[in-house]
Amino acid sequence: MATSAIEATTPIRVPRSTDARIALAATVVTFAILFAQPFANTASTWWSDPEAGHGLLLAPLAFVLAWRRGLDPSATPSRGFGLGLLGFAVAIRYVSALAADPFLSRASMFLALAALVLYAWGSRQVLAWWLPAALLALSVPLPDVVLGSLALPLQLKASSLGASLLSWRGLPVHLDGNVIRIPGHDLFVTEACSGLRSLTALLSIGVLLGGLLLKHPMARVAIIALAIPVAIVVNGVRVFITGFLVAFVDPSLAEGFTHITEGWLLFLVAFAILAAMTLGIVWMEKRLTRSPAGA
């Protein structure tokens, strides 16, 4: 049976020998100099871009979980593989600087970090830190072209679900792409209302819940996969509620403080649904792994 993602093994300690400390300090300084610009760019994007703001929480949490998890006693350094991967990461960093590609530079920074872990402790340690690694990967801001290609189908799906629910409530609806036409009003499901932000957040929560509470890999995959339809359906409900308020209460409720508050409340609903699903899978895991009576 798999162990808990935060179960302590061997604590991480600063090396005692002078040579090892000098090597560690030199590595930290070199890494800081080489990846200062990608780190500053990533942190700035986390702070200023709402689509990437989850990185402000995920990145520090990943390092905390890695520290709590500690070192795998059976891990052995992979010097050759680590150096090779580090060289590849530095090459990507150089290419990204020439191409002025922020995503490649960010990817090279995290790839170099993985290479250093391989060099110091090996692949077993990378596997032991799978949860922090997954959270770090989710924290990397995606290129605008990728965000746009993901947002469009989510916009259309949210529009379709919202229109279907409004029609079910007896309201005359005409759906034109991401525009829901109701008597006297046109509702535009914009990219900001596509649900991509809540989907990313729920996927991150699914990874975290699976890593902390679930034992089996398939159970973890299941809860991450379930986060996708939960996010899509709840966002469709949000579009429906907005249309209902516009049609029957006050059109001004489709924007401003009320609209933002509605989004936060429905995200809490989505989180509660995902948490309930996780507890259900935890219960099933216990039932399936329970020893027969008298065994």
What is the reported pLDDT for 291?
Answer: 53
- Non-local (6+) Cβ contacts of 116 within 8 A are 27, 31, 82, 86
Predicted local confidence at residue 14, as pLDDT: 67
Sheet containing 174-176: which strands, arranged edge to edge? 174-176, 179-182, 185-188
Percent of the chain clearing pLDDT 70 (strictly above): 93
Residue 194: CB partners within 8 Å, gap ≥ 6?
151, 152, 154, 155, 158, 235
Look at residue 40 and tell me whether its pLDDT is greater than 90. yes
Rounded to whole angstroms, the Cα distance separating 277 from 117 reads 34
Kindly report the backbone phi and psi dihedral angles of residue 12, in degrees, each rounded to the nearest multiple of 5, phi listed first: -80, 125
Is residue 15 predicted with pLDDT exceeding 50?
Answer: yes
Asked if residue 18 has pLDDT above 80, the reply is no
pLDDT band for position 185 (50/70/90)? confident
- Average the pLDDT over 211-223 and give the result: 91
Query: Which pLDDT score, from 0 to 100, does residue 110 have?
Result: 92
Q: How far is CA 146 from CA 93, 103, 142, 153, in A?
A: 20, 11, 6, 12
pLDDT at 294: 44
Closest CA to 143 of 188, 113, 99: 99
pLDDT in tens, 194-204: 778 888 889 99
Q: Apex CA 12: angle with CA 11 and CA 18, to 5°?
A: 130
102 φ/ψ angles, rounded to the nearest 5 degrees: -65, -35
Q: How far apart are CA 41 and CA 33, in angstroms?
A: 14
Instruction: Please state, in angstroms and rounded to a whole number, the distance separating the CA atoms of residues 103 and 85.
Output: 18
Query: How many beta carbons lie within 10 A of that of residue 36, not counting itself?
Result: 11
The 10 Å Cβ neighbour count of residue 209 is 22
Quick check: pTM over 0.75?
yes
> Could you report the per-residue pLDDT of 107-152, keeping only the tens digit for each?
999 999 999 999 989 999 999 999 999 999 999 888 888 887 888 8
Question: How is residue 195 annotated by DSSP?
Answer: S
| Beta carbons of 14 and 113 less than 8 angstroms apart | no
Residue 131 phi/psi, 5° resolution? Answer: -70, -50
Domain borders along the chain are 18-141, 145-289
pLDDT over 60 (residue 270): yes
